[in-house]
């Protein structure tokens, strides 16, 4: 506190020297001794209705009579600062970072991203450049649950599990927003609230319906966690929920977000979502009523369109009061004040970050680390990997992703100075000592050629074939124009690897040469034939700027793979329920009753990890107590590796409860032959589930089973306890 007082005094002295007068401010909101809320109220009190409404659009004009510059609320930093012409560090896509199961790495990645974001904001604002993608309000993270692998935007999420999602997202938010006691380094935004995970083609009119159990068990937990850790903003979704557009939902926006959770931050609509009220949902006759209803429900920013301009007419017609509009304005200006946007630079600890902070060496090193961590080794027959390059004379690298920089960047991305593709990574690794044949040969989908003769002729003398396939963020993603084999407007109609790729792999198999399959994808792919016939399968996701180097590091043994699946890899389309059915029955590892091809949490290593109890849980617990346990992780192989120890709980018998549920995970590095100990504490209250009779959360009583292992089907060590 004393240090901050000295900083304030120095800043005030600077202000006085610069001509703002003796011991007073022109406007009260300029006084840093007042609370943010007091200062925000002062700004709002000085605005006309027209000025207020203009400040509720994502692109706000300057308020010249108050000396407040323009500001655009819309910015992105899904995996590094996005959509900017500045060269920035591009980390792996969100789903890839989730495959690293590393809380600390996620926190550090977000902190580095905020640093680069501040550098861009400071540089741009010094030039009075206030265009889109310059601000400090980032509409990230996407914490919707990846309930169905066909959803094209699932790549933007942290997977199918609420606990994993909440844990990684809370670390992201805290890293991005910083730990300064007074100012936000950047402002995060939890999206899309709520019950939103496809389909893309009808999202503007789709009405999601779920049971209260599924709502509280699957769709809300991550949002609740981020509200608890102080995320600055929420984004409400396009779709309707129980007949009301999400941005105007009584249940979601008023009863849960504002009242039950006590959220005081700002809410933005998804871009164009307020227009959907009257254009697609047909729940409102026009902009004035739609805008009034959205504001009444606590949606403070109208992104992307001008529906909120109808608020002026809405006030005149008595549909909403100006005082209700003021509530939103105060929230919005409070966020801008918390970011230090109106304060003297000496007061704001992030104001000196400049363009030299972009693409710092430490940021790039971390991007490589996260790319390495994300790679999931799904299969390694006969320990074919790692490859000894001294045994190679020729490598053939074939497939649609051999040299595709665009694929590696995912979506909602920025652009680095250099992107290392798979071809680059292999070339950098083997230098001029090994001959490399490279050819895409085929596309992602389409008709299978009558013959692959030319390609086979070029690979027949190779010592190793690397097939770089999968899909691309240009065909899976947000409302995309693609309507072709297996893909429809951003989503997939089949989770199988496109037939042309399987046919090509079958042809490569006939050569008798060892084949390493590298999948680049944002979602789970069914690999029925491949899992039986291809000796090595690496799932590399969309790995960011260093994807090529990270893959090469795994193939040649410089990095021991440690990625684990944040989603279930199903065997085929028959395992999937109706895409538009949001009921969680038979979805994700928590409720799926079939046999997964590769289960949630799965991932191989070049070494082996064994588990043993150090101390089992007590036999009995009551509400308010904590389950404590400890276990040992032994590296029984011959090289150092990172284990991702996963702790799952099985609930007492009950028709709704998950079959199993992740409740703790820990990434630990263990030297060959050594053992490390992991201690776990799980509050009994975390086991609460929605109870229809109680109309709220209730703790199930009875016998619980707990197990630890390398993935969700690996019950390496087990125990049980009772909750009374």
Cis bond before residue 194 (omega within 30° of 0):
yes
Contact by Cβ (8 Å): 175, 107: yes
Please state which of the ranges 251-265, 437-451, 703-717 shows the lowest mean pLDDT.
Answer: 437-451
601-647 pLDDT, tens digit per residue, is 999 999 999 999 999 999 999 999 999 999 999 999 999 999 999 99
Q: Is residue 495 scored above 50 in pLDDT?
A: yes
374-401 pLDDT, tens digit per residue, is 999 999 999 999 999 999 999 999 999 9
3-state secondary structure of 691: strand
Does domain 609-723 match CATH 2.60.40.10? yes
Per-residue pLDDT, averaged over 330-339, amounts to: 98
Phi, psi dihedral angles at 108 (to 5 degrees): -65, -40
Q: What is the largest CA-CA distance in the chain?
A: 85
CB-side neighbour CA atoms (13 Å) of 435 = 8
Report the C-alpha gap between 303 and 277 in whole angstroms: 14
Residue 655 token pair: 């028709």
Residue 111 token pair: 């902190």
351-380 pLDDT, tens digit per residue, is 999 999 999 999 999 999 999 999 999 999
Report the C-alpha gap between 446 and 710 in whole angstroms: 37
Boundaries of CATH 2.60.40.10 in the chain?
609-723
Residue 685 token pair: 């209250």
Question: pLDDT exceeding 90 applies to what percent of the chain?
Answer: 94
Residue 451: per-residue pLDDT: 80
Neighbours of 89 (CB within 10 A): 27
> What CA–CA distances, in Å, run from 373 to 207, 302, 486?
38, 38, 29
Q: What is the 3-state composition of the chain as percent helix, strand, coil, each rounded to the nearest 5?
A: 35, 20, 45
Confidence of residue 696 (pLDDT cuts 50, 70, 90): very high
Boundaries of CATH 3.40.50.1700 in the chain?
361-591
Per-residue pLDDT, averaged over 334-345, amounts to: 98
Confidence of residue 23 (pLDDT cuts 50, 70, 90): low
Residue 449: per-residue pLDDT: 82
Q: Is residue 279 scored above 70 in pLDDT?
A: yes
Confidence of residue 583 (pLDDT cuts 50, 70, 90): very high
Question: pLDDT exceeding 70 applies to what percent of the chain?
Answer: 97
Contact by Cβ (8 Å): 273, 237: yes
Opening angle at CA 340, ends 80 and 222, nearest 5: 50
Report the C-alpha gap between 389 and 423 in whole angstroms: 15
Beta-bridge mates of residue 629? 680
Residue 391 token pair: 């045994």
* CATH of segment(s) 39-352: 3.20.20.300
Report the C-alpha gap between 435 and 537 in whole angstroms: 23
Mean pLDDT across the chain, nearest whole number?
Answer: 96
172-181 pLDDT, tens digit per residue, is 999 999 999 9
Per-residue pLDDT, averaged over 559-574, amounts to: 98
Q: Is residue 306 scored above 80 in pLDDT?
A: yes
Cis bond before residue 192 (omega within 30° of 0):
yes
Report the C-alpha gap between 293 and 283 in whole angstroms: 11
660-688 pLDDT, tens digit per residue, is 999 999 999 999 999 999 999 999 999 99
Which of the residues 102, 476, 575, 661 is marked catalytic?
476
Per-residue pLDDT, averaged over 688-714, amounts to: 97
Opening angle at CA 647, ends 92 and 608, nearest 5: 70
157-205 pLDDT, tens digit per residue, is 999 999 999 999 999 999 999 999 999 999 999 999 999 999 999 999 9
Residue 18: per-residue pLDDT: 41
Q: Is residue 5 scored above 60 in pLDDT?
A: no
Phi, psi dihedral angles at 416 (to 5 degrees): -85, 175
Beta strand 266-269 with 376-380 is unpaired
Confidence of residue 10 (pLDDT cuts 50, 70, 90): very low
Residue 450: per-residue pLDDT: 79
Contact by Cβ (8 Å): 248, 319: no
Residue 159 token pair: 């997977």
133-148 pLDDT, tens digit per residue, is 999 999 999 999 999 9
Residue 656: per-residue pLDDT: 86
List the one residue out of 226, 201, 513, 554 whose CA is nearest residue 376: 554
Beta strand 536-539 with 515-520 is parallel
Boundaries of CATH 3.20.20.300 in the chain?
39-352
Task: Judge whether 270 counts as a catalytic residue.
Answer: yes
Residues 6+ apart with CB under 8 A from 119: 86, 353, 354, 355, 356, 357, 358
Residue 654: per-residue pLDDT: 77
Q: Could you say which of 3.40.50.720, 3.40.50.1700, 1.10.357.10, 3.30.70.240 is the CATH number of the domain covering 361-591? A: 3.40.50.1700
Which of the residues 270, 359, 530, 661 is marked catalytic?
270
Report the C-alpha gap between 497 and 487 in whole angstroms: 11
């Amino acid at each position: 506190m004393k240090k901050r007082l000295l900083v304030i005094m120095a800043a005030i002295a600077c202000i006085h020297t610069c001509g703002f007068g003796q011991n007073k401010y022109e406007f009260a909101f300029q006084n840093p001794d007042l609370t943010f809320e007091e200062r925000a109220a002062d700004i709002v009190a000085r605005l006309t209705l027209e000025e207020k409404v203009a400040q509720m659009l994502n692109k706000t004009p300057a308020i010249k009579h108050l000396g407040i510059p323009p500001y655009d609320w819309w910015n992105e930093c899904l995996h590094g600062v996005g959509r900017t012409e500045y060269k920035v560090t591009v980390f792996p896509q969100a789903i890839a970072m989730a495959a690293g199961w590393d809380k600390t790495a996620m926190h550090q990645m977000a902190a580095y991203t905020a640093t680069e974001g501040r550098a861009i904001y400071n540089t741009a604002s010094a030039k009075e450049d206030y265009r889109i993608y310059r601000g400090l309000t980032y509409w990230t993270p996407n914490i919707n649950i990846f309930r169905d692998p066909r959803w094209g935007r699932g790549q933007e999420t942290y997977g199918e599990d609420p606990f994993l999602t909440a844990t990684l997202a809370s670390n992201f938010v805290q890293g991005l927003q910083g730990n300064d006691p007074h100012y936000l380094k950047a402002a995060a935004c939890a999206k899309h609230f709520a019950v939103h995970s496809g389909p893309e083609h009808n999202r503007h009119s789709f009405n999601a319906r779920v049971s209260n159990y599924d709502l509280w068990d699957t769709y809300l937990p991550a949002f609740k966690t981020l509200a608890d850790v102080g995320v600055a903003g929420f984004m409400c979704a396009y779709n309707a929920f129980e007949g009301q557009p999400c941005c105007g939902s009584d249940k979601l926006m008023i009863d849960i977000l504002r009242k039950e959770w006590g959220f005081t931050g700002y809410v933005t609509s998804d871009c164009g979502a307020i227009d959907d009220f009257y254009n697609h949902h047909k729940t409102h006759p026009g902009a004035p009523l739609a805008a009034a209803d959205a504001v009444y429900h606590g949606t403070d920013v109208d992104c992307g369109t001008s529906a909120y301009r109808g608020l002026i007419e809405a006030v005149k017609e008595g549909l909403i009061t100006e005082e209700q509009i003021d509530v939103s304005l105060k929230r919005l200006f409070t966020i801008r004040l918390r970011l230090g946007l109106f304060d003297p630079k000496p007061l704001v600890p992030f104001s000196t970050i400049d363009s030299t902070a972009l693409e710092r060496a430490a940021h790039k090193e971390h991007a490589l680390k996260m790319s390495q961590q994300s790679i999931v080794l799904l299969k390694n027959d006969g320990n074919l990997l790692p490859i000894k390059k001294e045994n190679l004379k020729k490598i053939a690298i074939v497939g649609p992703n051999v040299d595709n920089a665009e694929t590696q960047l995912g979506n909602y991305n920025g652009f680095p100075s250099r992107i290392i593709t798979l071809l680059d990574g292999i070339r950098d690794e083997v230098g001029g000592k090994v001959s490399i044949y490279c050819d895409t040969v085929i596309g992602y989908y389409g008709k299978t050629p009558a013959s692959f003769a030319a390609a086979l002729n070029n690979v027949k003398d190779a010592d190793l074939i690397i097939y770089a396939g999968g899909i691309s963020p240009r065909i899976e993603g947000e409302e995309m124009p693609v309507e072709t084999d297996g893909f429809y407007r951003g989503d997939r109609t089949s989770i199988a690897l496109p037939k042309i790729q399987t046919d090509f792999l079958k042809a490569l198999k006939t050569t008798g040469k060892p084949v390493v399959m590298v999948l680049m994808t944002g979602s789970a792919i069914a690999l029925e034939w491949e899992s039986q016939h291809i000796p090595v399968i690496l799932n590399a996701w969309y790995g960011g700027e260093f994807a090529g180097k990270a893959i090469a590091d795994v193939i040649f043994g410089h990095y021991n793979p440690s990625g684990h699946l944040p989603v279930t890899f199903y065997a085929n389309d028959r395992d999937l329920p109706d895409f538009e059915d949001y009921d969680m029955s038979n979805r994700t590892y928590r409720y799926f009753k079939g046999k997964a091809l590769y289960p949630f949490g799965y991932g191989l290593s070049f070494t082996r990890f064994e588990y043993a109890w150090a101390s089992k849980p007590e036999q009995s617990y009551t509400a308010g107590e904590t389950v404590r346990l400890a276990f040992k992780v032994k590296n029984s192989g011959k090289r150092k590796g990172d284990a991702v120890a996963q702790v799952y709980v099985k609930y007492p018998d009950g028709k709704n409860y998950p079959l199993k549920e992740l409740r703790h995970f820990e990434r630990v590095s263990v030297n060959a032959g050594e053992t490390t100990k992991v201690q776990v504490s799980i509050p009994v209250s975390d086991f609460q589930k929605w109870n229809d009779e109680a109309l709220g959360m209730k703790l199930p009583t009875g016998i619980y089973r707990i197990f630890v292992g390398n993935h969700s089907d690996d019950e390496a060590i087990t125990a049980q306890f009772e909750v009374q």
